[in-house]
Amino acid sequence: MQLDSKNINIFQKKILTWYELNKRELPWRKNRDPYNILISEVMSQQTQLSRVIPKYLTWLERFPTIEDLALAPVSEVLQYWSGLGYNREL
């Protein structure tokens, strides 16, 4: 298949239609805050989404901004991060 604008458009429509029919409701899709999206992406790298969602929500309750995260003790950050598939001693 040649990548001309017609074929690209057809492909885009197929992908977007599939997404509309199959998308999952995920908490980070409800806003466009770069910090929230970054946290969701990093958490999702090593862990199943079913386990990420509660950790993500708890994380944002405790560290709602990057400034809150930066001011927190490392030991507390690691405690909240625990269980996400990253091996690290507390």
Q: Given the residues 41, 61, 67, 76, select the one marked as catalytic.
A: 41
Going by pLDDT thresholds of 50, 70 and 90, the confidence category of residue 86 is confident
Burial 12-33 (b: 16+ CB within 10 A, else e): eeeeeeeeeeeeeeeebeeeee
Q: Is 79 helix (H, G, I), strand (E, B) or coil?
A: helix
d(CA 49, CA 13): 26
pLDDT at 89 over 90: no
Q: What is the pLDDT of residue 87?
A: 67
- To the query of whether residue 41 is one of the catalytic residues in this protein, the response is yes
Predicted TM-score of the model (pTM): 0.79
pLDDT 10s digits, 28-81: 998 899 999 999 999 999 899 999 999 999 999 999 999 999 999 999 999 999
d(CA 40, CA 55): 10
CATH superfamily of 27-81: Hypothetical protein; domain 2 (1.10.340.30)
